[in-house]
Chain A
Amino acid sequence: MTKHEEKKRSNIEDVNRSIYDIKDKVEYSFKADTGLTEEIIREISSQKEEPEWMLEKRLAALKIYDKLDVPPWMPDISDLDMSHIDTYVRPRTDMKGSWEELPENIRDTFDRLGIPEAEKTSLAGVGAQYDSEVVYHNVHEALAKQGVIYVDFETAVKQYEDLVRPVFGTLIPPSYHKFAALHYAAWSGGSFVYVPKGVEVSMPLQSYFRLNAPGAGQFEHTLIIVDEGASCHFIEGCSAPKYNVANLHAGAVELFVRKGANLRYSTIENWSKNMYNLNTKRSLVEEDGSMTWVSGSFGSHVSCLYPDTVLKGDRSKAEFTGITFAGKGQYLDTGSKIECLGKETTATVHSKSLSKGGGTAIYRGVVHIGPKAQGAKVSISCESLMLDNESRSDTIPDIIIENDNIDLGHEAKIGRIPDENIYYLMTRGLSEEDAKAMLVRGFAEPISKELPLEYAVEMNKLIDLEFEGSIG
């Protein structure tokens, strides 16, 4: 167990965010007007020198955005004023192929986040997004030789139109909800991954998103196609320095898992506590394919995140493992959606949440078993732990079943740390705060062991810090 070597500090935000909260001097080569108008969208598009079909998509999405209302069930986002959010901020650098070529302040930022080291040691490729443009991209040569494509999304639109255009916006259409429409109108940056038939990418591909400019929105698009019999692990990590102006993140992630393919998609979101994280993720799984989500939500002011898996092919599988930690001032509405369409599809959902200091953690889950999904098996378990009396936790399941031949289990537990467990650990010499931290780590352990190592370590640190100086 780690001992706290750092000096005791009582405020979690002060400590944990220290490396993220260093702001760089903001320098832009181009900055769009605040708010969202057709003019801005056209400007974004022409800056990117993108093909006409993409501009048309953007403008169509903008019309939908203007028409749609904010979904009525969403948490309160009235503090978010779109007319004051910059939709496009481009750092003063073009995309670079090597670390040393990046401007110093941007390189420093990524150095602080530990990205190049991680890349060198364990990652097959890194795409790091600094504000809206991907400034650095690299895939190991060996992978490139196997035909694996890992590029920023702008490049993908131009160079791989044949792969991108037929599927872009088909899984998450702009009409999905208001923020999906916003995304398609204003998208910028993101990653495109294509793994050809039968290729197994053994090392994880990682992207790291980061927002730096005050009031900047981030609308990155991630599109992954894992072709028949191929497999891949993609890690997405998000962080943003803290600013007083409300920040918005409305990304979209479209994942295509073809016949017999495997995709594992791990996400850690540790956005600063003023971020509105309204992200949409959806995966389409063909016959015998398998989709695994690992999701950790720690940051942001308000989050709405429900990765959706469409089990279209027979015998396709989904597994979702997620943890949400809502602290002071946070409203994290997370969950998952499973749609069983094919025969003998199976899905397992494990969700855990922690709430503390008046934070709210909601699990919102949808299961839809269609009329043709004979023999579908779905098992859901969600456990919530409230660490004090001010915090809130809820489970909102929505289950639609359209055939008789299915097997569905749903288990939800909401509770507190039992006093007798704290007492037991204290009889072994642990202080009350150490005992609580240990019990919370234990609660989170089944999830944290699924996370990439550096994130598991970060999560445990976060839990320890949450308890340090919190008692007495």
Chain B
Amino acid sequence: MSELLKIENLHVSVGDKELLHGINLTVEKGKVHVIMGVNGAGKSTLMHAIMGNPAYKITKGRILFEGQDITELSVDKRAKLGIFLSFQSPVAVAGITMENFIRTTKTTVSGQQQKVFAFKKLLKERMNNLSMDASYAERYLNDGFSGGERKKSEILQLRLLEPKLALLDETDSGLDVDAVRIVSKNISEYHNENNSILLITHLNQILQLIKPDVVHILIDGQIVREGGAELADEVEQNGFDAYRLAVKGDGNDEA
């Protein structure tokens, strides 16, 4: 087993406010990690920090990807190394069709020109897997898409770009039961021993379909518990309050 992602003592601020207070996290190749925690705990912040969003300042610590320090690397270079973020609320881009967009990004990330017809065929197949109507390929990216359709569009991109590390930020939220099943199935089909998933979720349904290897509980900008799949069941039964108490009084103002 080799380490794909290693986060060491990561402190992250937005403006003057520190949101993450020393995160340590290691993701090995082929594993599925889940981050759970209440709203505002810093889960999305962690995702954006790994992706390199310039709005999130790393004030201390570092991020290693396949042993390379990427703490200072720009977002696009991280994407080219094989990091992918599925957004909680993907933006719409008018004027660019989904097909052209994904083909362009696939060319950029893979460094290989995509043949138009071969790509079209693959795209159609992947869209079919996600129960997306073929007409969406010709529509502007996420423009006028419902919340659920945008999430499917993210997973469609995941499947076509085939990154080494998939950061999935509440991919299941806003989806109906059937859509969660379809999306989960696609994520499972993407996953293999050479790539890893770091998933944020509030719901257990997706974890029945994508079995986590490691569960992290993030409260007030700190990881307070780690365990196996059984930890997710524990949270489902007891809620987060027990973990919240564990960090209370350590001086941060987030609670």
A interface vs B, CB < 8 Å? Answer: 1, 3, 418-421, 423-432, 434-435, 438-439, 441-446
Contact = CB atoms under 8 A, between A and B. Distances in A.
A429 B95 contact: no
B123 interface: no
B21 to A, nearest CB: 24
A428 B108 contact: yes
A426 B107 CA distance: 14
Contacts of A445: 94-96
Interface string B83-103: 011010011011110001101
B222 to A, nearest CB: 26
B35 to A, nearest CB: 18
A429 B91 CA distance: 16
User: Which 3 pairs show the lowest CB-CB distances between chains A and B?
Assistant: A442-B95, A445-B95, A426-B75
A445 to B, nearest CB: 3
B53 A430 contact: no
Contact of B104 (A418, A430, A443): A430
Contacts of B74: 426, 431-432
Interface in B229-248: none
B14 interface: no
A374 to B, nearest CB: 35
B79 interface: yes
B108 A430 contact: yes
Given A423-B53, A428-B157, A442 B96 contact: yes
Contacts of B84: 427
B140 interface: yes
Contacts of A419: 55
Contacts of A444: 95
A425 B101 CA distance: 9
B124 interface: no
Most buried by A among B76, B80, B85: B76
Interface size class on chain B is: 20 to 34
B95 A446 contact: yes
B95 A441 contact: yes
B93 A439 contact: yes
B209 interface: no
A419 B75 CA distance: 13
B95 A421 contact: no
B218 interface: no
B23 interface: no
B150 to A, nearest CB: 11
Given A423-B53, A442-B96, A431 B76 contact: yes
B108 A429 contact: yes
Nearest to B157: A428
A424 B161 CA distance: 15
Nearest to A449: B95
Nearest to B82: A429
A443 B161 contact: no
Given A1-B100, A419-B55, A430-B104, A443 B95 contact: yes
Contacts of A429: 76, 79-80, 105, 108-109, 161
B51 interface: yes
A441 B85 CA distance: 24
Given A1-B104, A428-B109, A432-B74, A421 B79 contact: no
B223 to A, nearest CB: 24
A439 B96 CA distance: 8
Contacts of A438: 93, 96, 101, 104
Contacts of B51: 427
Interface string B43-59: 00000000101110000
A429 B87 CA distance: 15
Contacts of A434: 108
A427 B85 contact: yes
B79 A428 contact: yes
